[in-house]
Chain A
Amino acid sequence: MASYDFLFDGLGLRAWCDGGASAAPMSMADLLGQARGAAAPAPSLWDFPFPSMNALNRACPAFPQARELTKGLEDGFLSIKDGLSIVLDPLTQPLSWALEGALWLFQTSPWWIMIPLILLVVRLVTRSWGLVAFVAACIGFLAFINHYDYAMQTLAIIFVCAFICVLLGVPIGIAMSRSDTFQRIAIPILDMLQTLPPFVYLIPLIFLFSVTEPKLYGIAVIVYAIVPVVRLTNLGIRLVDKEVIEAADAFGMTRRQKLWGVQIPLALPNIMAGVNQTIMMSLAMVVIASMVSAPGLGVLVLRGIRNLELGVGLVSGLGIVLLAVILDRVTKAALARVNAAQRQ
């Protein structure tokens, strides 16, 4: 006797119910129950179940179980997987090349070229000798404790992924700022990307791409980190002073002139804040992506967890913190320079 027998009897669906049993695999609880052959205890009102898929299935074997939902999703994904791969593989191939190229470049360049080059970039972006000294100390420390290669791998991945995030995210943000409809559609998607646990992205990606290909983790990082730059580009352009936009219109600017001459320059502080956030989020994701073969400091963190090597985990964790601080300070200093140039 199941609790919802009355429902199917009442609707006259008994014949359909007994016609075909659900094809879902048996749950462990069912198996145990079957093995014991125990009779169901007398139902009381306290135990009356919610009309869930499983409860209804007990009353009517033809009704699908909840497990069939997840299985259906999986089957559905597997059935479109091949088609999706054919489209996505060539589309994302440049990402693999870019990542491979950057990794090769960062690793094969000798340290006595790489470190001065990085310091030069920091100097150009921030115009601050203090920050250059700080970055030199951090990288020097990482190199001294033999984490230089790992740190460079992580940096290479972040450079490529953050660059692609900006390349894709800024135009998406601009499109959102221009169309309220597009904004309404895009915001829930961005919310979802931001809140979906990052591990969840990895599962379908593993099905789609080979684990040995860099684009697998590249996509994971980009999808996770693109959100802030999109959001803040949209926000920045929407926040541009209405009167300035009006002036641009009053002097007969075209949409393109307005975008490049007014909106993007005035939204730049916000866009830069988005880039800063995007870089920080790619760093977070690079660690998780080490589970799908992303090289870098994340591999050491993973080794620390897997083998319970406390020291390895802690030191590589500290390395990631140092990288994060460097990237954050440098982008913030660049942001401050943009802000100073635009004070109204």
Chain B
Amino acid sequence: MSDDVKISIRNLYKIFGADPQSVLPLARSGMDKAELLETHRHVLGLRDINVDMKAGQMTVIMGLSGSGKSTLIRHINRLIDPTSGEVVVNGEDVLAYNDAQLRELRRVNMSMVFQKFALLPHRTVLENAGTPLEVRGVPREQWEDEARKWLDRVGLEGQGNQFPHQLSGGMQQRVGIARALTSNADIMLMDEAFSALDPLIRTDMQDLLLELQAELHKTVVFITHDLDEALKLADHLVILKDGEIVQQGEPQHILMQPNDPYIVDFISDINRARVLRVRSVMTRTEAAPEGIAGDVEADANLESVIALSGGDTSLRYRVVRDGRQVGLLSVKDLVRALVPTAASGEGIRARAG
């Protein structure tokens, strides 16, 4: 069931400072982050966050540094406690949990991957991968097999006896992912998991994650500051700015209809032909077409259609999904969709220029 809401965050506020409760009403009434800091010496971390994360989907939370994304993900397993609001996981309010329940939640239901890997330097790769099971009290001979299985799965066959410092960054993060998978939890929290890696290795890791996800269908919460990465991975994209959600929804939808100059600015730099899908720019119709040049998949990206058409803008294609027609795509529309929204004069940069 992919439509089940697995994690639900409701009206979440987080304020850092000496007495957060005292300034909570001010934050609720909409006081500016800068003003709150200046007049009350409290930092507004998150304001009125509402997100539903569906089971088996990858929810990507994107924002620049300081936007509160790392704070937000830490609320899900309560590494940080909110000032106000609800975090509901599997239908239960985790804020009501006591220490033992919370530990159980972290051991059984959730795993986490960290930006700087956070491996235990004094333990071997195999022991690191087995940590979640070892913590639960599973005897070594049992978790060793499980850990080895996942190490093999992420491409670290035969590296189990190395120490983390003997591996490259990309391989260390593979250990981090194997560790998260060994726990067998159905929720995986990934805090800027690939941000510390080189671009090429990052692409590798993204592909690995997508491959694993296609097979395992975990509920993944992924944090990133990289829009390309967000668009590549997201089923549901949440864009954070200064602790508030600016827009959330399906990535294609956000690309086509950004509702904020901040997002327009963000998406003006990306390669639209590669991230936009045929289904986002096609005309929805099931009427039998005339004079079409061929069929294209609804989930194909525009780049592949351009390659197919050889640059001829007069062509039209039939869009199919599972062999059935869902719409039509003219290459003219396609080219028009490649022009970023910023060119319409709404963007911050257009105004500044």
Contacts and interface: CB of A to CB of B under 8 A. Distances in A.
Interface of A: 241, 243-244, 246-247, 249-254, 257, 261-262, 265-266, 268, 341-344
Nearest to A242: B118
A257 B165 CA distance: 23
Contacts of A244: 118-120
A67 B265 CA distance: 80
B118 A247 contact: yes
A119 B300 CA distance: 73
B16 to A, nearest CB: 16
Contact of B118 (A241, A268, A342): A241
Q: How large is the interface on B (under 10, 10 to 19, 20 to 34, 35 or more residues)?
A: 20 to 34
A274 B164 CA distance: 26
Instruction: Tell me if A's interface is mostly helix, strand, loop or mixed.
Output: helix
Contacts of B121: 266, 342-344
17 contacts: A243-B115, A244-B118, A246-B114, A249-B106, A250-B79, A251-B107, A251-B131, A252-B108, A252-B135, A257-B135, A265-B122, A341-B122, A342-B121, A342-B122, A343-B121, A344-B164, A344-B165
Contacts, number: 64
Interface string B189-218: 100000000000000000000000000000
Interface in B199-254: none
Contacts of A261: 120
B110 interface: yes
A252 B97 CA distance: 13
Contact of A253 (B77, B115, B135): B135
Contact of A250 (B77, B104, B120): B77
B79 A252 contact: no
Interface in B62-108: 77, 79, 102-108
A251 B189 CA distance: 11
A244 B120 CA distance: 7
Contacts of A343: 121, 165
Contacts of B131: 251
B32 to A, nearest CB: 30
A227 to B, nearest CB: 27
B111 interface: yes
Contacts of A251: 106-107, 111-112, 131-132, 135, 179, 183
